[in-house]
Amino acid sequence: MRIATYNVNGINARLPVLLKWLEETKPDVACLQELKAPDEKIPKQEIENAGYTAIWHGQKRWNGVAILAKNGLEIEETGRGLAGEPEDEQSRYIEAVINDTTIGCLYLPNGNPAPGPKLDYKMRWLQRLSKRAKELLDSDVAVVLTGDYNVIPTEKDVYKPERWFDDALFRPEVRKAFHELVAQGWTDAIRKLYPEETIYTFFDYFRNAYQRNAGLRIDHFLLSPHLTNKLKDGGVDNHVRGWEKTSDHAPVWIELEE
DNA sequence: ATGGCATTTAAAAAATGA
């Protein structure tokens, strides 16, 4: 089963790129983030025509997450949003069971400017996610938690670490919270496949970042223990970042043994 | 150290992103 994650940065602005990528790579499951569209503006028909059924949690203007499953795969939604902050209206989490695997699709808050209320929200969100992650581990099922974590895990995952120490993507407390989450028993799939390589999933639109390979690794796959030995392959669809009218993120994918 | 670009809403300019 091929599972992909892709921060599309506006699903309508990105529709041609999204459809071309789906057609080219044909993932069984695609987790999308930053739809930037309310539920009624999700391009359902186009997604259907591409051969996918989808569930989504949209929001006007910002955020928004979706899970697409290839036709023939049953998709059963098991939750949207994270517990712990009832007044939180940002659409950043959706979860479903597909093929006996629980898939959590997340868009973690950016947190900048930091310090400040946005970083505080990010830290709280990380704690809420960790709580859900622990529940899933304790439930003893196969789980993939994937999406845009907005966390650079180590210095290896950023082109110029010294420029990012104060940034909400790389601050010590953010990295610490991420590492504590992983330490519950999760596996960072891409890092497991490529222990030493430089791998980036985001390149900002400024200063030819993509052409200079000045990127960040912030889109991750965390696997529960059931899946660590089923991880066959994975990678970044780097070339998609080079397409016209493309997102600033590149899609990332893994292949799990059935 | 700063600003560079892109998207959304909504009709210009602000907010957000990472």
Question: pLDDT-based confidence at A167, cuts 50/70/90?
Answer: very high
- Domain count along chain A: 1
Nucleotides of B under 7 A from a protein CB: 3-9, 16-18
Kind and range of the H or E run holding A20: helix A15-25
Q: What pLDDT is recorded for position A104?
A: 98
A60 touches strand B (CB under 7 A): yes
Angle at A210 between CA A209 and CA A212, to 5 degrees: 65
Closest nucleotide to A168 by C1' from CA: B18
Cβ atoms within 10 A of the Cβ of A217, count? 23
pLDDT cut 90: percent of chain A above it: 99
Phi, psi of A102 (to 5 degrees): -85, 130
| Residue list for the binding site of A for Mg(2+) | 7, 34, 148, 150, 248-249
Q: How high does pLDDT run on average in chain A?
A: 97
Q: What pLDDT is recorded for position A209?
A: 95
Given the structure tokens 């989490």, which residue do they identify? A93
Give the whole-angstrom CA distance, residue A196 versus residue A80.
35
pLDDT in tens, A236-258: 999 999 999 999 999 999 999 98
Tell me, in Å, how far CA of A198 is from C1' of B3?
A: 27
The pairing of strands A101-107 and A142-148 is parallel
Average pLDDT over residues A166-193: 97
Q: What pLDDT is recorded for position A57?
A: 96
A113 touches strand B (CB under 7 A): yes
Given the structure tokens 């390589």, which residue do they identify? A197
pLDDT cut 70: percent of chain A above it: 100
Q: Is A59 helix (H, G, I), strand (E, B) or coil?
A: coil
What's the domain range around A233? 2-256
A204 touches strand B (CB under 7 A): yes
A36 touches strand B (CB under 7 A): yes
Q: What pLDDT is recorded for position A221?
A: 98
Average pLDDT over residues A96-124: 96
Q: What is the CATH number of the domain that holds A222?
A: 3.60.10.10
Phi-psi region of A55 (alpha: psi -120 to 50; beta: other; left: phi over 0): beta
A207 touches strand B (CB under 7 A): yes
Q: What pLDDT is recorded for position A193?
A: 98
Kind and range of the H or E run holding A16: helix A15-25
Token pair in block for residue A234? 């994975």
Q: What pLDDT is recorded for position A188?
A: 98
**Using CB atoms within 10 A of its CB, is residue A46 exposed (0-12), middle (13-18) or buried (19+)?**
middle
pLDDT in tens, A19-66: 999 999 999 999 999 999 999 999 999 999 999 999 999 999 999 999
pLDDT in tens, A209-243: 999 999 999 999 999 999 999 999 999 999 999 99
Model pTM score? 0.97
Residue A6 DSSP class: E
Beta carbons of A134 and A140 less than 8 angstroms apart: no
Tell me, in Å, how far CA of A10 is from C1' of B9?
A: 13
Q: What pLDDT is recorded for position A56?
A: 97
| Residue list for the binding site of A | 7, 34, 148, 150, 248-249
Tell me, in Å, how far CA of A13 is from C1' of B14?
A: 20
Name the H helices within chain A: 15-25, 44-49, 117-138, 172-182, 189-193, 225-228
CA-based nearest residue to A234, from A219, A252, A250, A216: A252
A91 touches strand B (CB under 7 A): no
Q: What pLDDT is recorded for position A77?
A: 98
**Roughly how many angstroms between the first and final C-alpha of chain A, as a whole number?**
6
Average pLDDT over residues A95-121: 96
